[in-house]
Structure 1
Amino acid sequence: MLTTRLASCSCGQLTARTTGDPVRVSLCHCLACQRRTGSAFGQQARFLREQVAISGASTEYARPGDEGPGARFHFCPQCGSTVYYELIALPDHLGIPVGAFASPDFPAPTISIYEERMHGWVVPPPGAEHIR
């Protein structure tokens, strides 16, 4: 049986229902993710687009990447929460911030990227791949 999860904005108007496991779960320490999340890093799960069903209205913000073409972030026009984003270089995938699932049993990250910008107190999970 495939795992089904629901990611949602704060007000519940915009949702992303996923079926199956994510392709990868990552920590991103880039400055853009720090600004987008208001945290020391972004944590996101990447799914194949076919694994995700979107419901509700979104507003889009396109941002170029530090490396590569960037992403189009979709957030709720009512509460402002980012629920998913399109990876321009990977059109068959969608990224979903792990916090949007509000699930403490979500799988741990397996990769940590842009670590040259990582806050000194952050400790990625044991066994995670490290990319400077």
Structure 2
Amino acid sequence: MQADVRTRTAACSCRGVELVLAGEPHRVYACSCLECQRCTGSAFSYRAIYAESAIVSRKGETRTWRRTGTSGQWLEQEFCARCGSVVLMRAEALKAAISVSAGCLEDRDFPAPQLLHWAKRKHRWLCLQDIAQSRPQ
């Protein structure tokens, strides 16, 4: 890895799981689908897509849970076996990529979402007008 490449560390709530990532994400997005609302316990998920090859190191025990999305393809959440924080997600549609929970990166300057998926499911109070919305779902 080059010395000038930025790294970020994603960690779960108990700090038992850490994932070190090199470089910048391909895209940062928010999703207001009901599954993301349930997963996060919030109004939306906020995630960053990285190439799987961006993983420099990882530690800690994780578990996975897989579901089928509305597209019929699988989505898999990877979470800390101890505290349950969802650190990353994999999706059948994301070839050789991972989607990292942006809140786990603890970076106040992390880029804002560029895209909002499932905008029609967002909470009415949620104002994300400067973010592009994906096609209607």
TM-score range, shorter chain: over 0.9
The CA distance in 1 between the partners of 2:19 and 2:92, in whole Å, is 18
Give, in whole Å, the separation in 1 of the partners of 2:72 and 2:6.
Answer: 31
Secondary structure of the structure 2 residue equivalent to 1:44: strand
Aligned length: 131
* TM-score, normalising length: structure 2: 0.90
- 1:54 is displaced (CA, Å) by 2.6
Distance 1:27 1:86 in 2: 15
Where in structure 2 are the equivalents of 1:80-119 lying within 5 Å? 80-119=84-123
Unaligned 5+ segments in structure 1 are none
Runs of 4+ residues deviating >2 angstroms = none
In structure 2, what is the equivalent of residue 19 of structure 1? 22
Structure-2 change in CA distance of 1:119 and 1:23 (3 Å): same
TM-score (norm 1): 0.93
Whole-angstrom CA distance in 2 between matches of 1:102 and 1:66:
30
Give the SS at the match of 2:104. Answer: helix
Q: CA deviation at 1:103?
A: 1.5
In structure 2, list runs of 5 or more residues that go unmatched: none
In 2, Cα distance between equivalents of 1:42 and 1:68: 20
Give the percent of matched residue pairs that are identical in Structure 1 and Structure 2. Answer: 33
Report how far residue 125 of structure 1 moved: 5.7
Amino acid paired to 1:95 = S
2:38 is the counterpart of 1:35: yes
Tell me the residue number matched to 1:9: 12
Q: Deviations over 1:66-86 (max 9, x none)?
A: 224131111111111111111
Report the more deviating stretch, 33-42 or 54-63. 54-63
Distance 1:57 1:125 in 2: 38
Task: Please show how residues 41-52 of structure 1 align to structure 2 within 5 Å.
Answer: 41-52=44-55
Question: For the residues of structure 1 that align with 2:124 and 2:74, how far apart are their CA atoms?
Answer: 26
> What root-mean-square deviation, in Å, do the aligned CA atoms of Structure 1 and Structure 2 show?
1.3
